[in-house]
């Protein structure tokens, strides 16, 4: 069982660390373009194994994708991080080129791999990876919904002074500012969240979640990494262990929710084949309108990528 993480920066290294610590794969290969960087991160994680107590081997390589051959799952975190004042859309040109190159190398050596995209801007980078891989949508999808949902659940747990373990929630749509909150599908120990918190406070939490990434960029001067890395690792675990977990992920919609050819977050069942099934919720009119707004935003960025590709 081999899992590859491309990009040994903060998100990629965190993902590799969680994968190793939880013994999700026998071998975790960390790849980076910077000489010695992935090797150092992988060695550091491996040297932690006697302290924490795990068997998973971590191996680092510099741009040698032959070492990733036969990977069952590949997590792509490569690309520039977002800086203060920079929107996700500003990253599109540079990161699309990086994701395209990485995806082609991944598929060359692991043609049967399931690919999880973490690079920003997430929705359109998933589109790029899907185009470059030639794989079906069930095997190329993005990590966004788990991260957004985790932020939402963490904020709710804080406000209600309860364990985040007891909060279940679903968010849809694009990653970030145009995400679609679904309070109707949010429960605390099975209790609808609307019975435990007022509308104004809930709306404020939803808004904070929508700009959650930006809040961290302002605080730290760069993007988050602990939660994104752990979220990607959780997706890998669901696939490798065939857990059939219900998660919101970024996937190409093909008729679901009345939408075609756009990459949006939607709840799915995640198992050994990747996306086992897309779950279609019965949205009310307000939720449908929010999802349509999100679709329009993502489609604009997809169209921008198409124009760049056409003019290249």
Binding site residue list for NAD(+): 7-12, 32, 95, 118-120
Cβ contact 5:77 at 8 Å: yes
b (16+ CB within 10 A) / e for 140-151: bbbbbbbbbbbb
Provide the total of helices (H) and of strands (E) in the chain, helices listed first.
Answer: 9, 14
Cβ contact 167:186 at 8 Å: yes
Helix (H, G, I), strand (E, B) or coil at 209: helix
b (16+ CB within 10 A) / e for 120-135: bbbbbbbbbbbbbbeb
Q: How far apart are CA 33 and CA 35, in angstroms?
A: 6
- Annotated binding-site residues for substrate read 82, 88, 120, 151
130 is catalytic: no
Residues in the chain, total: 312
Rg (C-alpha) for the chain, rounded Å, is: 19
End-to-end CA distance of the chain: 38
Helix (H, G, I), strand (E, B) or coil at 301: helix
- Catalytic, out of 2, 67, 139, 175: 175
Helix, strand, coil percentages (3-state) for the chain, rounded to 5, are 50, 20, 25
Tokens of 210: 């929508």
Helix (H, G, I), strand (E, B) or coil at 238: helix
- Annotated binding-site residues read 7-12, 32, 82, 88, 95, 118-120, 151
Conformational region of residue 255, where left means phi above 0, alpha means psi within -120 to 50, and beta covers everything else: left
Which of the residues are catalytic? 175
């Amino acid at each position: 069982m081999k899992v590859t993480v491309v990009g040994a920066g903060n998100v990629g290294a965190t993902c590799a660390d969680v994968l190793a610590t939880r013994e999700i794969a026998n071998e975790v290969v960390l790849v980076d373009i910077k000489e010695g960087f992935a090797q150092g991160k992988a060695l550091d994680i491996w040297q932690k194994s006697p302290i924490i107590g795990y068997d998973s081997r971590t191996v680092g390589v510099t741009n040698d994708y032959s070492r990733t051959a036969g990977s069952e799952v590949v997590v792509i975190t490569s690309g520039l991080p977002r800086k203060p004042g920079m929107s996700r859309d500003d990253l599109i040109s540079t990161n699309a080129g990086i994701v395209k190159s990485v995806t082609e190398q991944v598929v060359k050596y692991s043609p049967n791999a399931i690919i999880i995209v973490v690079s920003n801007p997430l929705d359109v980078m998933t589109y790029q990876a899907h185009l470059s891989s030639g794989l079906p949508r069930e095997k190329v999808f993005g990590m966004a919904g788990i991260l957004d949902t985790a932020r939402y659940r963490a904020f709710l747990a804080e406000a209600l002074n309860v364990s985040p373990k007891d909060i279940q929630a679903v968010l849809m749509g694009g990653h970030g500012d145009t995400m679609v909150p679904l309070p109707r599908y949010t429960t605390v120990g099975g209790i609808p969240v609307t019975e435990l918190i007022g509308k104004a406070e809930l709306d404020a939490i939803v808004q904070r979640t929508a700009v959650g990434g930006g809040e961290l960029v302002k605080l730290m001067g760069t993007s988050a990494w602990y939660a994104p890395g752990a979220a990607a690792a959780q997706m890998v675990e669901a696939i490798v262990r065939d857990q059939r977990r219900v998660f919101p992920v970024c996937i190409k919609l093909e008729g679901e929710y009345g939408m075609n050819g756009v990459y949006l977050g939607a709840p799915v069942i995640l198992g050994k084949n990747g996306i086992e099934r897309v779950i279609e919720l019965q949205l009310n009119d307000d939720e449908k309108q929010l999802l349509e707004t999100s679709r329009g935003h993502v489609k604009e960025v997809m169209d921008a990528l198409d124009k760049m590709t056409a003019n290249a």
